[in-house]
Homo-oligomer: A and B are copies of this chain.
Amino acid sequence: MKKEKKLEKVTPKNLPGFKELLPSKQIVFENIVNSMKHVYEKYGFFPLDTPILEHSEILLAKAGGETEKQIYRFTKGKTDMTMRFDLTVPVAKYVAMNYNSLAFPFKRYQIGKVYRGERAQRGRYREFYQADIDVIGNGSLNYVYDAEITSIIYEIFKGLGLFDFTIRINNRKILSGFFSILSLSDKCDDIMRIIDKISKIGLEKTKNELAILGLSISQIESILEFVCFDGTIEEKLNSTNAYLNMDKEFDIGINELKQVLYYIDAFGVPCKNYTVDFSIARGLDYYTGTIYETTVNTYPEIGSVCSGGRYDNLAECYCDRKLPGVGISIGITRLFDVLESMENSIFEKDFPVDVLIIPMNVELFRKAIDISRLIQAGGINTQVYFETVKLGKGLKYANKLKAPFVVIIGEDELLQDKIRLKRLSDGYQTTVNSNEAIKIINNNP
């Protein structure tokens, strides 16, 4: 065909901070997403999908200065638009918009891309996946849902082949109540922001920052003693007894936390996978009750890979109704990097086909199609290698695909109505009919 013009080549490249995976890694990524979906659905969560672009006034209704600097915002015609930077603001909008059509408690999950124009650096992405779940109540929401969320976090991580992780639980009311007891209510937000960094900056720097904020030495010591108390969950709870009946919010927070812990036990989350941690504060977020962080114990340096908490009023920017919610967000793109560097078992299923079918010449293509359809009917993913080349090249292609098996379609075997099945891991070969082949392929560990 004639060409309209000679094309100039453009060097193919991606925007910095925008991750793209090679095929075998992409398969693992899909497996991770499917494994998460499976858990969310088991607990009866609805899937949700919201636009990536929204009116800027919607997305930025609650955002502060930090968010505004990092967003992708532009106008087209007269419309001021922003790419979503999380999945919490969109669900708040969605619930306010569709209030009359939803059943409450509304349980939804959403797995999708979000955009933040941060300085691109290792482990920081500008486009990345978040997997969020939230339970949203109408007027009120029992604290047993906060325990259920913990159970879901546990199942998610277990499903990904992670076992050595800790879900850290706290309650914001305990912290703000405690600061009130120390007559520091006016500095509450700043203190939360500082203690939130303890594990990153260490005790000495934390002390310095609290001193700069104007806290007395005894206030600083009380705070650090409280938030850094080490021990079992029971011991930690006991350590709070000294402050009971001094501040209403503090007492409510302790009660909420105790309720959550009571039900976490009922959900069967093993003790070794959760704890109470009074030092987590989620400083920049808007939580008003339970807060969660989850750390992979062999990778403490990467911080929390699953965080969340409870809002008294999720959709307060969009409507007057009281819609309390509790939820978590998992940064899957970063979690993927962690799992990859751990050589996690989920990286073992990274091939698209179970068997590559290689016809030995073009006359055997139709026969290869027949065999392929028979094997597919056994629930097996197949590819036929429709190339007129030597067997060696077909085997090389199978190796590149990481296909566990090849089926070779040759004239000799066909005369006996058989095919040659070869396992690539150990070179084992056998001449069988297609039903026998299906059995062998399906029984391969």
B-contacting residues of A (Cβ < 8 Å)?
Answer: 1-2, 4, 7, 9-15, 18-23, 26-27, 29-30, 41-55, 57-58, 61-62, 72, 74, 76, 79, 81, 83, 93-94, 96-98, 101-108, 113, 115, 117, 127, 142, 144-145, 148, 172-173, 176, 185, 188-189, 249, 263, 266-268, 288, 312, 315-320, 352-353, 356, 365-366, 369-370, 373, 376, 381-384, 386-388, 397, 400-401
Taking the closest CB of chain B, its distance from the CB of A271, in whole angstroms, is: 17
Quick one: which of B9, B81, B105, B266 contacts A319, CB cutoff 8 A? B9
Q: Which residue of B lies closest to A359 (CB)?
A: B144
Q: Which residue of B lies closest to A24 (CB)?
A: B46
* Docked pose: A92 CA to B7 CA in angstroms: 14
27 contacts across the A-B interface (CB closer than 8 A): A2-B185, A7-B316, A9-B320, A10-B318, A12-B94, A13-B97, A14-B54, A14-B97, A18-B53, A19-B51, A22-B98, A22-B101, A23-B102, A23-B108, A26-B49, A44-B356, A44-B383, A47-B352, A53-B72, A53-B115, A74-B76, A103-B400, A103-B401, A104-B397, A105-B386, A145-B386, A266-B365
Q: Which residues of B contact A83 (CB under 8 A)?
A: 53
Q: Which residues of B contact A1 (CB under 8 A)?
A: 172-173, 176, 249, 288, 312
* Docked pose: A164 CA to B414 CA in angstroms: 37
* Docked pose: A14 CA to B1 CA in angstroms: 44
Q: Which residues of B contact A382 (CB under 8 A)?
A: 42-44
**By CB atoms of chain B within 10 A, which of A61, A103, A370, A388 has the most?**
A103
A20→B51 contact, CB < 8 A? yes
A13→B55 contact, CB < 8 A? yes
Q: Which residue of B lies closest to A115 (CB)?
A: B53
Q: Which residues of B contact A370 (CB under 8 A)?
A: 266
Q: Which residues of B contact A12 (CB under 8 A)?
A: 58, 93-94, 96-97, 315, 318-319
* Docked pose: A148 CA to B14 CA in angstroms: 31
Q: Which residues of B contact A23 (CB under 8 A)?
A: 46-48, 102, 106, 108
Quick one: which of B22, B108, B315, B366 contacts A266, CB cutoff 8 A? B366
Q: Which residues of B contact A185 (CB under 8 A)?
A: 2
* Docked pose: A400 CA to B101 CA in angstroms: 9
Q: Which residues of B contact A50 (CB under 8 A)?
A: 20
Contact of A46 with B72 at beta-carbon distance under 8 Å, contacts A10-B318, A352-B41, A400-B103 already known: no
**By CB atoms of chain B within 10 A, which of A26, A57, A108, A249 has the most?**
A26
* Docked pose: A62 CA to B19 CA in angstroms: 23
Q: Which residues of B contact A383 (CB under 8 A)?
A: 43-44, 107
Q: Which residues of B contact A42 (CB under 8 A)?
A: 376, 381-382
**By CB atoms of chain B within 10 A, which of A1, A49, A319, A373 has the most?**
A1
Taking the closest CB of chain B, its distance from the CB of A203, in whole angstroms, is: 27
* Docked pose: A103 CA to B396 CA in angstroms: 9
Known: A12-B97, A144-B365, A148-B384. 19 other contacts (CB 8 A): A1-B172, A14-B55, A15-B79, A15-B81, A23-B47, A23-B108, A26-B46, A27-B46, A43-B381, A43-B382, A44-B383, A46-B352, A53-B72, A74-B74, A103-B400, A107-B383, A142-B386, A266-B370, A267-B369
